[in-house]
Amino acid sequence: MSRRLIGLALTVGVLALVVTGCGSDNKKSSSGGSSGKLQVGVLLPDSQSSVRWETQDRPDLQQAFDAAGVKATIVNAQGDKNKQTTQAEQAITNGAKVLLLVDLDAGSGSAIIAKARAKGVKVIDYDRLTNGGGADFYVSFDNVQVGKLQGQGLVDCLKAKNVSKPRIATLNGSPTDNNATLFAEGYNSVLDPLYKSGDLVKGPDKSVPDWDNQKALTIFEGFLQQGKQIDGVLAANDGLGNAAIQALKKRNKSQIPVTGQDATAEGVQNILTGDQCMTVYKAIKKEADAASKLAIALVKGEDTSSLATATVKDPNTKKDVPSVLETPQTITKDNIKVLFDDGFLKRTDVCIGKVDALCTKAGL
């Protein structure tokens, strides 16, 4: 082989390595089987507030984009607003026509939407509405209804225990997450009339910054240190609920009704052991499918009018945002099997150690 051909071969080899190296250092954030220029950028918030972002949303979204032959990159900011902004800028620079955004707060989310707008990039607020951001679309669940299910679930669990005038502690979600506000609107609409009538007693009530489970544990330990009886816990998701459960166990307290949300493996285990009374199942695949259909239609320049079947009013701008809202479902020990029948959870995710016998007893 001539020197010129050898040099050409080496150059091609180096270029191949460079191209390979330019891919994600995490296979999970790669674009899958599609090829060509980036078309969709998905910006996930973290993996600490809920495991759903990595275990459910990521694979469901990736599968949908791959099936449509749409090149997408899915990245996770791990709770870092600056990192999420950089990730958004990178997706826009790489040619994304659409961003699916799960914001970390309204300020940073709005800034990302403004950057996208300036480049003609469409934005779909995914799961969380960015207050004042002006996204083109919003895809989520009926989050006020999620809260109503939590509130009613707690009431039903307390009735089953025949607790007289139970005192309720509340662990709200992050104050910077619009969803947490909607959840609270829902469960307070159920609980406030009962506080007013005296059927329930309102106990300590705090929001948990960034949905941080460790902060929730500290907050709930503070509730217990007040020395007053707590008979039930309205916890805004399974992670916060588990924090309350751990604090109760540390003090050898008896099991009391604790709510949750997201139907996580941990939350379901707590339901099976009797430590948690309910969770809310949000069929994330439906949410991911709705968002991906919308994104794919936008990429292809197709009509989206039939895809957005609802509107949600932005509390800041008072403008209606075209939306898709999926329906949540209460999960208790009585209907827990639906999570496995739907393929949302696998038996091997939940039925571990001492929980295995409880799974068998529950018919799982």
List pLDDT tens digits, range 58-72: 999 999 999 999 999
Which helix (DSSP H) or strand (DSSP E) does residue 118 occupy?
Answer: helix 106-118
pLDDT in tens, 173-204: 999 999 999 999 999 999 999 999 999 999 99
Q: Domains for the chain: give ranges and CATH numbers.
A: 24-135+284-326 (3.40.50.2300), 143-282 (3.40.50.2300)
Over residues 17-43, the mean pLDDT reads 55
Q: Which residue has the higher pLDDT, 31 or 233?
A: 233
CA–CA gap between residue 238 and residue 121 (Å, rounded):
35
Mean pLDDT of the chain: 90
Which of the four pLDDT bands, split at 50, 70 and 90, describes residue 357?
very high
> How does 167-191 read in b/e, with b if 16+ C-beta sit within 10 Å?
ebbbbbbbebbbbbbbbbebbbebb
Residue 51's pLDDT is what? 85
pLDDT reading at 124 higher than 90 = yes
Residue 26's pLDDT is what? 40
Residue 49's pLDDT is what? 82
Q: Give phi and psi for 125, each to the nearest 5.
A: -70, 120
Residue 9's pLDDT is what? 42
Tokens of 300: 């292809």
Residue 297's pLDDT is what? 96
Q: Which residue has the higher pLDDT, 15 or 110?
A: 110
Which of the four pLDDT bands, split at 50, 70 and 90, describes residue 352?
very high
CA 160, 166, 169, 173 torsion-angle sign: positive
pLDDT reading at 84 higher than 60 = yes
Residue 21's pLDDT is what? 36
Residue 50's pLDDT is what? 84
265 neighbors 349 (Cβ within 8 angstroms):
yes
Which of the four pLDDT bands, split at 50, 70 and 90, describes residue 32?
very low
Which of the four pLDDT bands, split at 50, 70 and 90, describes residue 333?
very high
Whole-angstrom CA distances from 232 to 129, 167, 168, 244 are 30, 7, 5, 10
Residue 48's pLDDT is what? 86
pLDDT in tens, 194-246: 999 999 999 999 999 999 999 999 999 999 999 999 999 999 999 999 999 99
What strand order describes the sheet that includes 232-235?
201-207, 167-172, 232-235
CA–CA gap between residue 318 and residue 201 (Å, rounded):
34
